């Protein structure tokens, strides 16, 4: 009986990995870059830098206990953010279910979400202008909006508490994105106040 149970467990794991391979086969190179960017801070950078496919990223998520057959929500969250909602079915999730669980189980920080949102609104011309403005401090390499923002973060030009550099760039190049940054600041302040109230035992009445 014990060996049968063990065999069943192995079959389940193989079945789960098959689903991951199906998801991998439906993702493009740009999707892999997005996954890697969203995983910054949760998966070691060296591992992410060496990842060339979605399946590589999935392996790291499994190794970091961020993904398992019993709890695949983090991957569902990632797919939801990069707008690959049709692939949620392979994880037995729906768009509505993910949205319902995000406030409870979501792992992507407000800061990471902000940078991702900004990257999707920075077109190639905007990117060229931003790179031009910071030319002296950037390496002479081809960059996408995501790799540009990741580099600013790596160079400590921006972090969750300091967006001055990014604000200055947006003011000159894409002023409309300042609204995203202001929204982030309000949401971040709201979370901070909420946590402090919780520490003092003063939880909001509707919780």
Mean pLDDT over the full length of the chain? 89
pTM of the complete model: 0.85
What confidence score (pLDDT) does residue 138 get?
84
Q: Pull the structure tokens for residue 56.
A: 């590589």
- CA angle 186–35–20, rounded 5-degree value: 130
CATH class in words for 112-197: mainly alpha
Parse the chain into domains and list their residue ranges: 13-107, 112-197
- CA angle 89–52–21, rounded 5-degree value: 30
Cα end-to-end span (Å), the chain:
46
DSSP reduced 3-state for 182: helix
What confidence score (pLDDT) does residue 205 get?
44
Q: Give the pLDDT mean for 123-134.
A: 95
Examine domains 13-107 and 112-197 and report if their fold is the same. Answer: yes
Model pLDDT for residues 35-76, shown as the tens digit of each residue: 999 999 999 999 999 999 999 999 999 999 999 999 999 999
Model pLDDT for residues 155-191, shown as the tens digit of each residue: 999 999 999 999 999 999 999 999 999 999 999 988 6
Q: Counting beta carbons within 10 angstroms of the beta carbon of residue 73, is it exposed (0 to 12), middle (13 to 18) or buried (19 or more)? A: buried
Q: Give the pLDDT mean for 129-151.
A: 91
* Residue 197 clears pLDDT 90, i.e. is over it: no
Q: Are 85 and 95 in contact (CB under 8 A)?
A: yes
For domain 13-107, give the CATH superfamily.
Death Domain, Fas (1.10.533.10)
């Amino acid at each position: 009986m014990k060996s049968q149970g063990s065999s069943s467990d192995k079959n389940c794991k193989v079945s789960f990995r098959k689903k991951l391979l199906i998801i991998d086969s439906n993702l493009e190179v740009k999707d892999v870059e997005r996954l890697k960017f969203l995983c910054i801070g949760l998966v070691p950078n060296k591992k992410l830098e060496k990842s060339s496919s979605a399946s590589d990223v999935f392996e790291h998520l499994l190794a970091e206990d961020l993904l398992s057959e019993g709890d695949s929500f983090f991957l569902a969250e990632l797919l939801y953010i990069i707008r690959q909602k049709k692939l949620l079915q392979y994880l037995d999730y729906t768009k509505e279910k993910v949205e319902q669980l995000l406030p409870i189980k979501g792992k992507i920080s407000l800061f990471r979400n902000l940078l991702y949102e900004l990257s999707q609104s920075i077109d190639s011309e905007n990117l060229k202008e931003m790179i031009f403005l910071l030319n002296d401090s950037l390496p002479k390499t081809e960059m996408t909006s995501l790799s540009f923002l990741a580099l600013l973060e790596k160079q400590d030009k921006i972090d969750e508490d300091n967006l001055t550099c990014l604000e200055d760039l947006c003011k000159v190049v894409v002023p409309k994105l300042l609204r995203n940054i202001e929204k982030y600041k309000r949401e971040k302040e709201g979370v901070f106040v909420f946590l402090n109230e919780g520490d003092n035992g003063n939880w909001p009445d509707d919780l």
